[in-house]
Amino acid sequence: MIIDKYIKPKTIEEAYSILTTKENSQIIGGGAFLRLSKKHISSTIDLSNLKLDFVTETNNYIEIGAMTTLRELEINEITNKYFNGIISTSIKNIVGVQLRNIATAGGSIAGKFGFSDLITALLVLDCKVVLYKTGVVNLADFINQKNNDIVEKIIITKNNLRADFQSVRNTKTDYAILNAAVSKHNKNFYKIAVGARPGIANYAKKAENFLKSVDFSVQNAEKAGLIASEEIKFVSNFRASAEYRQELCKTLVSRAICNVNVSSKKSNG
Ligand SMILES: Cc1cc2nc3c(=O)[nH]c(=O)nc-3n(C[C@H](O)[C@H](O)[C@H](O)COP(=O)(O)OP(=O)(O)OC[C@H]3O[C@@H](n4cnc5c(N)ncnc54)[C@H](O)[C@@H]3O)c2cc1C
């Protein structure tokens, strides 16, 4: 990566103005992923002066500033209090503490990486992305849009859903071969997301609909896992074949469904 100019704006307005007026300019979060690229960036816009490093809780929401590190998200009391700690579980295997001390929540969302563990986990929560110019966008829409905007923060509705995250890696700190997250709102209302396919996470809508019509049992969880594995598209790469990912999907999804039905390992606030 070659950077011509490194700018630390004092306001978000200034950051946005540089982003949209200077050709080949780019926001930098932790820079952990950006530095691996061969890009030539004219102006790199560092957001670290903009007070976007926070995790706060209001009556209805958890708010996570874009410059919050993954390590902070992993150990933060607020994020750990809700949703059976799914945020922490989803990121705790990303490389090591040193990298998680650098990589940011904003960069992890804005990067829209296919291998993302955090996006898969957040997709099963009621999660919105706040963009400086565009405003509030559902995470599920955001990951499928092109934006030239700044992620300011992530907002998660504080509801009492139970959630679980699963992943399989060749080694503990490698990218996931497949990841899956499941949440359960009330008796039969589930959200199921499967990611690192190796593409970005998709919802398993047919499996979610199947679960709406049945009571929980291990057999029905396995059936939902099978349905998810048939509706989600998998691709082969050097980490794993599409067929292997499809097999893993059955197990990860059914295991996560079982866990949200029996899990009491962490309270929901
Ligand atoms: C070696 C390595 C291994 C990894 N393994 C995993 C893994 O197993 N699982 C996983 O989920 N992740 C993994 N990651 C990704 C990591 O978790 C982060 O998601 C990634 O580093 C991006 O965060 P960052 O703060 O470094 O963003 P940067 O590298 O700074 O930026 C990434 C992209 O986001 C844009 N961006 C950054 N912040 C904003 C913002 N606020 N608004 C708009 N755009 C913005 C940048 O312009 C850039 O395009 C890995 C990363 C590395 C380097």
State which fold the 162-262 domain adopts. Answer: Enolase-like; domain 1 (3.30.390)
Q: For residue 269, is pLDDT > 80?
A: no
Is 30 near ligand 1, meaning CB less than 6 Å away?
Answer: yes
* pLDDT, position 263: 57
Q: Is the pTM of this model over 0.75?
A: yes
**Ligand 1 centre from 116 Cα, in Å?**
9
Is 26 near ligand 1, meaning CB less than 6 Å away?
Answer: yes
Question: Binning pLDDT at 50, 70 and 90, where does residue 111 land?
Answer: very high
* pLDDT, position 186: 81
202-248: per-residue pLDDT in tens? 999 999 999 999 999 999 999 999 999 999 999 999 999 999 999 99
**Ligand 1 centre from 107 Cα, in Å?**
4
CATH 3.40.50.300 corresponds to the domain 55-157: no
Q: For residue 265, is pLDDT > 70?
A: no
CATH 3.30.465.10 segments of the chain: 55-157
**Ligand 1 centre from 43 Cα, in Å?**
18
Extended beta strands in 107-219, E state: 127-131, 135-138, 151-157, 162-169, 176-184, 190-195, 202-203
Q: What is the mean pLDDT of residues 37-51?
A: 95
CATH 3.30.390.50 segments of the chain: 162-262
Is 109 near ligand 1, meaning CB less than 6 Å away?
Answer: no
For 4, 83, 193, 200, 243, the CA distances from 118, given in Å and listed in that order, are 31, 14, 11, 11, 24
